[in-house]
Structure 1
Amino acid sequence: MFNLINLKRIKKDLNFIYINNIFLKNIILKKIKKFILIIGPCSISNIKDFIFYLKKIKNNFKNILLIIRIYYEKPRTNIGWKGFVYDPYIDESYSINDSIYIIRRLLLDISKFFYLGTECLNFFLINYFIDCISWICIGARTVQSQIHREFCSNLNCIVGIKNDIYGDFNVLKDSLLSIMNKQCFINFFEKTSFIYSKGNKYVQFVLRGGKEPNFSKKIITNQSLIIDCSHSNSLKISINQIYVFENILNQILLLKNINGVMFEHYIYNGNQDIKNKKFGLSITDSCLNFKFYFLFLKKINDLQCF
């Protein structure tokens, strides 16, 4: 379907990803003491800007594991730009052949240096990129999807499942049960086949807020937790991510199952209209800039509980 014959992973790189994934799994199993920091723009829209951003990212703290958000598609409540993979030139040309190739080439390059995380929205597309990914999220709009749950039960990487847009915690528990258990389902990627999954025990809950923020609620669970400082937890105001983060720092010492936090973070503060195309500004959700990134690192490191 797509000409990706020259973009295959070499064995050395596959081994590198495999080892990284084992290391990350041991963190959520509490065998290794590290705190997970997931950062990156709401969505990638310009590859040159994104590479500039990555060159600025540094992590000198041994107790922090960094995962870069690379969200190439965006869920929509109604209509709007659905992400780089569908419309890479932001001109409604929908050059998907180009975007698949560009994204895979990018992932092959940067996965040698970073742990990468993305959202599994279209589970057909993720098959083109899965060998570069260490952390996959099921979003608030797809967390109840049986097809997504089945697919994730067959993955060999960590899956973060977000609460739904209403903040229903029971949905998380249902998804967890489904993903962790064996499934039989039909796969249509490349050729139709039956998949018999063994289940995926490496699952995290991601609290992103619902009708109201839920980062400060006392969730009774032994499951690994990631707190999404953006979205409904920040009331979709990017600077509020700081206040969410400050609250979480106080909880970490009490709730040992908070393994990490997630931020929408980019080159410059704020966002812009999709037509403007200014350097370093998100064209979807508003983001925080680099000043806050270094603040995050220092404050997490100062906890000294990892």
Structure 2
Amino acid sequence: MSDQDTLPAPAEVATHVVADRVAHHRRTVVDVLSQRDPRLLVVVGPCSVHDPAAALDYADLLARAAERYADDLVVVLRAYLEKPRTVAGWTGLLPDPTLNGKGDIATGIRQGRDFLAEAASTGLPLAYEFVDPMLAHYVADLVTWGAVGARTVASQPHRHLASWLPMPIGMKNCTSGRIDTAVHAIQAAGLPHSFPGVAPDGRPTVLRSTGNPDAHLVLRGGPTPNYAAPHVAAALAALTEADQPPRVVVDASHGNSGKDHNRQPAVVADLAAQVADGNRLLTGVMIESYLSDGNQPLGTGPLRRDLSVTDACLGWSRTEDLLETLAQAARARANR
């Protein structure tokens, strides 16, 4: 067995302690989701991090914008290090830090952990999609807002993990566009569970959760979008019928943009109008954004550090415009 096939124990890489700051960020996001804080949650950043140094440049830009809009928005950086795949493709910095399929996960854990710690040092809260439940133990203490994605929302291990994780978890509707699976996931995550996991010293152990009261629905579209006011109203009604808190976060990308990053501004404009009209249960918006517009393929030559290697993203200048639009909408809602 090579060194790259021996994973460190979670405690071996947990060298960065920002617990008080992370706990504060988590309480803030919970207050936004619960409408105790009138601001709007905005989860924004690259589809996935492939160049940590460039992503930190992006984080610095976003941190300054977050400070400007702090009266109206709670801005959270998408710091996604795992990438779910329908069939095949690059699976993210943690599982494949060399971007070539070698699977040096041990190196990925250390590099990814270092990136998250440096990103957190900007003062930004961090968002993370938990793809592999085992890898969650290496990063969860640095994460403010977590997501379970459209391809894993029906998975029992992911629902159990969400019940144990100590942060708000957004459950995305599945790729078909149906939301009932995500509503069921919210219900399941709210219950106590016992399930296998990893102790800080690396030993297999039984994890016992008490349930996560802050799991919530994320509308990400499907074959057709589901971001418009009637879709939001239907989702809120479904949550109420399931005896779950009526609140939604809406993803402006993925199925809601038809996987075309250039459509994200129109989706955000629609969501901003709903917020400005007084919808307090539309608690957050997600945007895929990076340093430059678009994306680039892997394996065809040298990579640009400023361009996504997965989903196409909006460039920074266009992102700033959207943050301004959302801040104005949140201010209008607060003043109604």
TM-score by length of 2: 0.86
Q: Which amino acid aligns with 1:280?
A: D
Q: In the alignment, what sits opposite 1:211?
A: 223
- Would you tell me which structure has more helix in proportion to its own residues? 2
Structure 1: 5+ residue stretches without partners: none
1:278 pairs with 2:308: no
**CA distance in 2: counterparts of 1:232 and 1:108, whole angstroms:** 31
Q: In the alignment, what sits opposite 2:268?
A: 245
Q: Alpha carbons of 1:6 and 1:260: their partners in 2 closer, same or farther (altered >3 Å)?
A: closer
Q: In the alignment, what sits opposite 1:9?
A: 16
Q: Alpha carbons of 1:130 and 1:6: their partners in 2 closer, same or farther (altered >3 Å)?
A: closer
Q: Alpha carbons of 1:163 and 1:6: their partners in 2 closer, same or farther (altered >3 Å)?
A: closer
Measured after TM superposition, the shift of residue 16 of structure 1 is 1.6
SS in 2 for 1:187: strand
**CA distance in 1: counterparts of 2:311 and 2:323, whole angstroms:** 22
Q: Which amino acid aligns with 1:299?
A: T
Please identify, of 53-62 and 120-129, the stretch whose mean Cα deviation from structure 2 is larger. 53-62
SS in 1 for 2:288: coil
Please identify, of 62-71 and 193-202, the stretch whose mean Cα deviation from structure 2 is larger. 193-202
Q: Which amino acid aligns with 1:160?
A: G
1:49 pairs with 2:50: no
Q: Which whole-Å deviations, capped at 9, do the CAs of 1:72-121 have from their partners, x for residues lacking one?
A: 11111111111111221223332222111011112122213110001010
**CA distance in 1: counterparts of 2:95 and 2:288, whole angstroms:** 21
Q: In the alignment, what sits opposite 1:80?
A: 89
**CA distance in 1: counterparts of 2:13 and 2:212, whole angstroms:** 31
Structure 2: 5+ residue stretches without partners: 1-6, 240-244
Whether the 8 Å CA contact 2:162–2:212 is kept in 1: the answer is yes
**CA distance in 2: counterparts of 1:294 and 1:86, whole angstroms:** 31
Q: In the alignment, what sits opposite 1:201?
A: 213
Mapping for residues 1-306 of structure 1, pairs under 5 Å: 1-2=7-8, 5=12, 7-10=14-17, 13-57=18-62, 58=64, 59=66, 60-61=68-69, 62-112=71-121, 113-189=123-199, 190-216=202-228, 217=231, 218-219=233-234, 220=237, 221=239, 222-252=245-275, 253-275=277-299, 276=301, 277-303=303-329, 304=331, 305-306=333-334
Consecutive aligned runs of 4 or more in structure 1 exceeding 6 Å deviation:
none
Measured after TM superposition, the shift of residue 7 of structure 1 is 4.2
Whether the 8 Å CA contact 1:226–1:262 is kept in 2: the answer is yes
SS in 1 for 2:321: helix
**CA distance in 1: counterparts of 2:128 and 2:181, whole angstroms:** 21
TM-score by length of 1: 0.95
Measured after TM superposition, the shift of residue 126 of structure 1 is 1.1
Q: Alpha carbons of 1:196 and 1:90: their partners in 2 closer, same or farther (altered >3 Å)?
A: closer
Q: Which amino acid aligns with 2:318?
A: F
Measured after TM superposition, the shift of residue 223 of structure 1 is 2.4
Q: Which amino acid aligns with 1:8?
A: T
Please identify, of 18-27 and 228-237, the stretch whose mean Cα deviation from structure 2 is larger. 18-27
**CA distance in 2: counterparts of 1:53 and 1:160, whole angstroms:** 23
Please identify, of 258-267 and 178-187, the stretch whose mean Cα deviation from structure 2 is larger. 178-187
**CA distance in 2: counterparts of 1:110 and 1:72, whole angstroms:** 12
Measured after TM superposition, the shift of residue 193 of structure 1 is 2.4
Q: State the identity as a percent.
A: 25
User: For this pair of structures, how many residues does the alignment match?
Assistant: 304
Q: Which amino acid aligns with 1:68?
A: L
Q: Which whole-Å deviations, capped at 9, do the CAs of 1:140-171 have from their partners, x for residues lacking one?
A: 00000011101111121000000000011211
Whether the 8 Å CA contact 1:203–1:224 is kept in 2: the answer is no
**CA distance in 1: counterparts of 2:209 and 2:111, whole angstroms:** 30
Please identify, of 211-220 and 154-163, the stretch whose mean Cα deviation from structure 2 is larger. 211-220
Q: Which amino acid aligns with 1:42?
A: C
SS in 2 for 1:261: strand
Measured after TM superposition, the shift of residue 255 of structure 1 is 2.8
Measured after TM superposition, the shift of residue 6 of structure 1 is 6.0
Whether the 8 Å CA contact 1:7–1:105 is kept in 2: the answer is no
